[in-house]
Structure 1
Amino acid sequence: MFDNLSDKLDKAFHILKGHGKITEINVAETLKEVRRALLDADVNFKIAKDFTTRVKDKAIGENVLTTLQPGQLMVKLVKDELTELMGGDVAGINLSGNPTVILMSGLQGSGKTTFSGKLANYLKTKKNKKPLLIAGDVYRPAAIDQLHVVGGQIGVEVYSERENKNPVEIALNGIKHAKANGFNVVVVDTAGRLAVDEEMMTEIANVHKAINPQETLFVVDSMTGQDAVNTAKAFNDRLNFDGVILTKLDGDTRGGAALSIKSVVNKPIKFVGTGEKMEAIDVFYPSRMADRILGMGDVVSLVERAQEQFDEEEARKLQKKIAKNEFGFDDFLQQIQQVKKMGNMKDLIGMIPGASKAMKDVEIEDDAFKHIEAIIQSMTPKERKKPSIIDVKRKNRIAKGSGTKIEQVNQLMKQFDQMSKMMKMMQGPGGKQLMKMMGGGMPGMR
C-alpha cells in the first residue's frame, strides 16, 4: 500500500540530512521532490502544488520547533498536511433512522456489491445491528446472485425481485420488508456502469429521492487514481453523497484517490477495503494512514485488530499451559489461526513501524502460513501435544506427509522452540508489564 510514494517521500527527506537548519533553499529542493512524488502517485497538480506551498509556509515560518532536526521537522509537517489532505478527523457513519437506510453508489467494477456485504457484516459484528441487503441492480443478473452469495457467507438476508426491473420499487419494497421483519439497517446495492452517463445518474438520483437515505456512500476503486476522483465529482454533483469508500487499497495503488478525493468533493473517506475477505474493512483514520505512508507504521490499528481476536478464557488456558511447559503445536496452530483472522500479512507488516521499508523487496504471500499448517497437520496428536518426541525418523515422515522438505520441518521446530521460550519469559513480571503497556498485545499473550 503506497510503497512507491513512501519510497519517494523518504528520498525527498534525505535531502535535509546533515543540514543544521531549515533554509528556503533546502526546503525548496526537498518540496520539489515531495511534489514530484505526489504527482507520480496520480495526485492532481493543483492539489500537489497547494500541498507543498502550505508545507513551505510552515517550514520557514516563525513557529519552528528548535528541538527537531530539519529532516524530522519536514516529516512532521508533511505528516500533518497529509492528515489534513485526507480529511483530518475520522468520520463516523450515521446510523439514525428506523431502519437506517444506506445507499451504495459507484461504477461497475468498483467493488460495490462486495463492499455492500462487507459493510453489512461490519454493522452486524461490530455495531450489533440486524442488517438487510437489497439487490437493486436490475441490469446484471449476476449482481443479484453475487449479493445472495455474499449474504450467505456472512449470514445476512438479501431482498431481491428478479422479475421487477424498477430499482425504485425494489428499494421501497425492500425497506417495507425490513420494517415488517425487525431489520434496523438496510444496505441498498445499485446498478453501476462502465462510465458515467445521464441514464445512470438519473436512475440513481430517482432511487435516492424515493428512499431518502441516512447515508449515501460512493464506492471507488482506489487503483484508478485520478479517474476515480473525477468520477466522484460527477456523482457528488448529482447525489451530494455523505462519504467515500475506497476499495482495493491492499493492491498496488499509487494513492492518488486517497490523497485527492477529499479536496475535490469535500466529503470524507469513511471506510477502506483491505482485502478479499468479508472482514477486510477498516474505518478510515487519516492520521494513521499518513503515518503508514511515511513508513511510521500503525501500531494502534495492529493492537486493535489483535484485541478483536483475543479470547480471554482461551488466553487463561494458554497461560496455564505455558507455565506448566505444556505449550504444544495445537496451541501454536490456534495462534496462527487468530493472526490470519487479523488480515493479510502484507497489510499487518505495514502496520509495524519500519517493517515496510525493511521488507520492501520481500514478497509476502497471503498464504504465508500454508506450509506451517501442513506440517503441523501431518503430525500425530501425540506429536502435537509433546513436540520433544519428534526425532529424525518422525521428521522425515512429517515432511513426506506435508509435501515439504526436512529443512522446513527443522526450521519450524526451531522457531517453535524459540517461541515457547519467549512466551515462557513473558510470564514473568517484566513481560506481563510490557504486554499491559502494549494494550494487551497479541492474542493469547496476556
Structure 2
Amino acid sequence: MAAGLVISAPASGVGKTTLTLALARAWRHRGLNVQCFKSGPDYIDPAFHAAATGRASVNVDSWAMDRGAISHLVSRGADADVVLAEGSMGLFDGVAAPGVSGTGATADIAEMLGWPVVLVIDPSGQAQTAAAIAAGLRDYRPGVRLAGVVLNRVASPRHEDLVRRALNDAGIAVFGALPRHAEISLPKRHLGLVQAEEQAEIGKLIDEAARFVAEHVDLDAVLRSAASWSPQPAANGLNVTPPGQRIALARDAAFSFVYPHMLEAWRGAGAEISTFSPLSDEAPDASADVCWLPGGYPELHAGKIAANARFRSGLRAFAETRPVHGECGGYMVLGTALTDADGVRHEMTGLLGLETSFAKRRMHLGYRLATLAAPMPGHRPSARLRGHEFHYSTILAQPDTPLAVVHDATGAVIAETGSQRGHATGTFFHLIAEDR
C-alpha cells in the first residue's frame, strides 16, 4: 500500500517543484519506489518528475477530467511506496466555474484522493505572519487536511526560530527549514522552467537538491504524515481517441509540449507513434497516416525552422493527402509566418494562413472548452474538447475557416478559434480530454 501526499503552497514560485524533486530523489536513494503526478495543466513538470524518480509522471486535472479518469491515471502508483502529487499555483487556486469534477485547484485533488498536504512556505519579508497564512490555508476547506509545512528561503536562524514558534503555537508541524541555496535553483524562461531534456546537468541538480533537503528536512516525519492509500477501481479510463493508427509526432526542443497521458492513451488504444525532429530538418514518416505537431518554443528556433527545407517540403507533401494538426507552437509553424521577439519575420510552412508575432508579447492563459465546427484528427464535428492555452504570441492574421467555437472557463467566447484548411488543422489550446 502506497503513502500519498500533495505538495502545495500559498502561491506560485515558492519552491514546490524543487521540494517535490528533492523528496522523490531522497526517498529513492533510500530504496523506495516513488511515483509523482502533476495537478493541473503544466506540461513541463512531469519530465522533471520522471528524471527524479525513473517513473513516468502524468497530469491530473479536476477541471478537464472526471473522477474516473483521475482514478485511472493515479492507479499507476499502486506499486509505489510513496506517491507525490505536485500542485500548481496556490493550494486553492482554480477557476471560478467548476469543470468536470472541480475548478482545477490542487485542493480538489487532495480532497478527492484523501492525501494530506505539505505546504511550502516562503517567509521572506515576514515572520509570524507566515503562520497566519498557513493556518488560514489549513482551515479554509474542511475536506483538505494539512500535514505540515516546509519553510523555504529562511534568512537566518533567528528568522527560522520566529516562524517556527508561531507555527508551533498554531498547532502546525514544521518538517524543516531550508536556507537560501542557489545551487538548487531551476532555470526559467517565459513559459516556465527550462525543460528537463534541455538541461544536461539535471541529474546532478536533483541530487544536490535531495542532499540539501535531507540535511534540513525530517524525511521520516514527512513520510509518517502521508496517508495510506490504494487506488480505487475506475469504472472508465480516459476518453481519448488516437488521431490515427500510425502517428508521426514532431519531437525536439521546439516541439515538446504534449501531455504524457495523451501519448499513453494513444498507445493504449493501439496507435503507433514515430517521432521526427523539425529542428534536425527531418520530415514526418511517409508511412504514417497523420502528423501531429505539439507546442513548444518555435519562437526561439524560428530562423532554423524557416531554413529547414526538407522538413517544410516533407510536411507540405504529407498534408496533400493526410491530416496534419498543430497545437499552439505547432499551430504557429503550420501558419504563414512567425515574427520573433526581435521583430524578425520568419516564413513558416504555409499550410494555414495564421500569422503570429512575439514582438509585442501578450499572455494568453487559461482553460478552454472547444466545440468543433469541423473534424480534426481523432475527433468528430460537434465534439467538446477540454484543453489549456498558455502562450505570449499575438495573432496578426487568422484568415482560415474557424475550427471550433472556443470558450474560456467563464463561458466567454474567445478569438482563438483554431483554423482549418484542406487537411491541416490547428488550435492554440493543448488538448487534455474530450467530454464524454
TM-score, with normalisation over the residues of structure 1?
0.35
TM-score, with normalisation over the residues of structure 2?
0.35
Higher relative contact order (CA 8 A, sep 6+): 1
Which structure has greater strand proportion?
2
Which structure has greater helix proportion?
1
